[in-house]
Amino acid sequence: MLLASLNPAAVAAGGDRSDAVTIDGTTLSRSDLVGAATSVAERVAGLPRVAVLAEPTVSTVLAIVGALIAGVPVIPVPSDVGAAERAHILGDSGAVAWLGAPGDDTLPVVPVRVHARSWHRYREPDPDAVALIIYTSGTTGAPKGVPVRRAQIAADIDALAKAWAWTADDTLVHGLPLFHVHGLVLGLLGSLRIGNRFCHTGKPTPEAYATAGGTMYFGVPTVWSRIAANPEAASALRGARLLISGSAALPTPVFERLRELTGHAPIERYGSTESLITLSTTVDGERRPGWVGTPLDGVSTRLVGEDGTLAPHDGETIGRLEVRGPMVFGGYLGRPDATEEAFDDGWYRTGDVAVIGADGMHRIVGRESVDLIKTGGYRVGAGEIETALLGHPGVAEAAVVGVDDEDLGQRIVAYVVGDADEAELIDYVAQQLSAHKRPREVRKVDTLPRNAMGKVLKRQLAGGAK
């Protein structure tokens, strides 16, 4: 059963919890959540697909859970989506109605009544049925729909529960969007499956995290960076069990500062919309800055070199990362061409490049399209240079891209937020790493362009670096 803790029979047998979900200033018991969500299920049962404007509200939680109870696929629509992208998502997905708050006036609206209750019993849908259709960020064209099956979600949450010793006794806290895997699948649906308390802070500020009283905290690097810069808030997290970072690489200086201030070395993990989470450091294993751990139960990985042969697991050789496992998707919605391109004999081509150590630990170098820089005959990972730059006291943020160059093939250009001198930074990287990995240019900026999950939009930087 996907949402095991929402089994009405379990609630009736004494499995209720008075504070199952806290969001937008409202706390729901598990029985209230079951009753209200089942009332939603009665209004949408039989519909082919529904869209939910995924704002962090009680209505959003009830809409998503109610549709899942009824076996109706949900399309979570970003709350800040632009008109053109919203029209694409609605048209491409085949959504027939807005469930809850309307995102526009192009579809009819099925209301979510927070105080309504129903105790109708719904049969658990087939494990292979689609639970969610989540749209990619669209960095390589229009966003693609990723159908996520119920069995994928269950397999991933169960594997993470083992890796993180995640139990019903935990209180999970985060303030992340509810339209991505991180906040929605892991945060909300993970909590409902495991049966732990779930607390959404609204904006993920250091102060909100500090007062939430959680045992587990989810955050993207931007969130953790702000907490690391706030010693008082960071020290309040000493009573937690796990600090978990994902969606982008956590800079080593932030990792170390969190360990110093909170007493916890953060858990890092890796995944994507298409594969959910496939790699993670573990509750009882090594947590090494810059490394995202080993494969979860049921997951296999491989590195493929430029010549198509398997790359060695020596901790140095960069290769294209491919994965397979029960949480990996089966193909894009209505895009057989993109699906064929994404797979190689059952292996999902993640589009990321990585290195794997002899101990099985993985380090993500970055996206093959923007983070693997081929300069002067060398293959260089942008992430390694960014980590080096962030070690300089005059650098607050850094992003590195490769720009076409007639002589080198690509030249390394670094964008930094900070007050360090350009020549000093170039020399600093050359001393920390090999000379060929030094930036040829350093450009100072006030901010780095980022998406809702805190990932730097490198295509914007590369497009502006000529």
> pLDDT tens digits, residue range 122-161?
999 999 999 999 998 755 567 899 999 999 999 999 999 9
Establish if 86 belongs to a structural domain: yes
Distance CA 238, CA 130 (A): 39
Statement to judge: residues 387 and 362 lie in one domain? no
Backbone angles phi, psi at 322, to 5 degrees: -125, 145
Question: What SS3 string covers 144-181?
Answer: CEEEEEHHHHHHHHHHHHHHHCCCCCCEEEECCCCCCH
Using alpha carbons only, give the angle 39, 42, 43 rounded to the nearest 5 degrees.
Answer: 95
pLDDT, average across residues 323-351? 96
Establish if 168 belongs to a structural domain: no
pLDDT over 70 (residue 222): yes
Statement to judge: residues 308 and 219 lie in one domain? yes
Distance CA 205, CA 223 (A): 7
Distance CA 88, CA 28 (A): 34
- What's residue 162's pLDDT? 97
Statement to judge: residues 94 and 122 lie in one domain? yes
Establish if 184 belongs to a structural domain: no
Backbone angles phi, psi at 254, to 5 degrees: -70, -45
Strand partners for 392: none
* Range with top average pLDDT, 6-10, 320-324, 409-413: 320-324
- What's residue 247's pLDDT? 85
The CATH number of whichever domain residue 398 belongs to comes to 3.30.300.30
Secondary structure letter of residue 456 according to DSSP? B
Instruction: For residue 28, name the pLDDT band (cuts at 50, 70, 90).
Output: very high
Q: 459 or 179: which carries more pLDDT confidence?
A: 179
| Segment 247-258, tens digit of pLDDT | 888 888 899 999
Statement to judge: residues 307 and 377 lie in one domain? no
Secondary structure letter of residue 450 according to DSSP? B
- What's residue 126's pLDDT? 94
Mean pLDDT for the chain overall: 91
Q: Which two tokens stand for residue 376?
A: 């002067």
The CATH number of whichever domain residue 306 belongs to comes to 3.40.50.12780
Closest to 204 in 3D by CA, of 196, 213, 212: 212
- What's residue 140's pLDDT? 54
Strands 319-324 and 347-356: antiparallel
Total domains in the fold of the chain? 3
Determine the longest span between alpha carbons in the chain, in angstroms.
72
Statement to judge: residues 341 and 408 lie in one domain? no
- What's residue 298's pLDDT? 97
- What's residue 302's pLDDT? 97
Q: 89 or 465: which carries more pLDDT confidence?
A: 89
pLDDT over 90 (residue 327): yes
Print the domain residue range for 144: 4-15+26-149
Distance CA 50, CA 339 (A): 24
Residue bearing tokens 């009405």: 8
Residue bearing tokens 């290195």: 355
Statement to judge: residues 362 and 376 lie in one domain? no
Distance CA 436, CA 430 (A): 7
pLDDT over 80 (residue 17): yes
Statement to judge: residues 363 and 458 lie in one domain? no
| Segment 384-425, tens digit of pLDDT | 788 889 889 899 888 898 888 877 888 999 999 998 888 899
Statement to judge: residues 213 and 354 lie in one domain? yes
pLDDT over 60 (residue 466): no
Q: Which helix (H) or strand (E) holds 77?
A: strand 74-77
Q: Which two tokens stand for residue 461?
A: 């930087």
Reduced to 3 states (helix: H, G, I; strand: E, B; else coil), residue 460 is helix
Statement to judge: residues 35 and 114 lie in one domain? yes
CA distances from 107 to 88, 94, 103, 190 (A): 13, 11, 9, 30
The CATH number of whichever domain residue 30 belongs to comes to 3.40.50.980
pLDDT over 70 (residue 11): no
Establish if 392 belongs to a structural domain: yes
| Segment 169-217, tens digit of pLDDT | 999 999 999 999 999 999 999 999 999 999 999 999 999 999 999 999 9
Torsion angle of C-alpha atoms 274, 275, 280, 283, degrees rounded to 10: 110
Establish if 189 belongs to a structural domain: no
- What's residue 416's pLDDT? 92
Q: Which helix (H) or strand (E) holds 301?
A: strand 300-304
Q: Which two tokens stand for residue 38?
A: 């089942």
Residue bearing tokens 């399209």: 369
Q: Which of residues 149, 182, 207 is at a domain's end?
A: 149
pLDDT over 80 (residue 455): no
Establish if 132 belongs to a structural domain: yes
Statement to judge: residues 219 and 351 lie in one domain? yes
Contacts of 198 by beta carbon, 8 Å cutoff, 6+ apart: 20, 21, 22, 23, 171, 172, 187, 188, 191, 192
Distance CA 447, CA 415 (A): 9
Establish if 158 belongs to a structural domain: no
Q: Which of residues 342, 367, 392 is at a domain's end?
A: 367
Q: Which two tokens stand for residue 49?
A: 């697909």
* Range with top average pLDDT, 81-85, 307-311, 327-331, 401-405: 327-331
- What's residue 153's pLDDT? 97
Establish if 167 belongs to a structural domain: no
Statement to judge: residues 256 and 120 lie in one domain? no
Distance CA 227, CA 257 (A): 10
Statement to judge: residues 124 and 218 lie in one domain? no
pLDDT over 70 (residue 14): no
Q: Are 231 and 207 in contact (CB under 8 A)?
A: no
CA 203 to chain CA centroid, nearest Å: 17
**Percent of the chain scoring above 70 in pLDDT:** 96
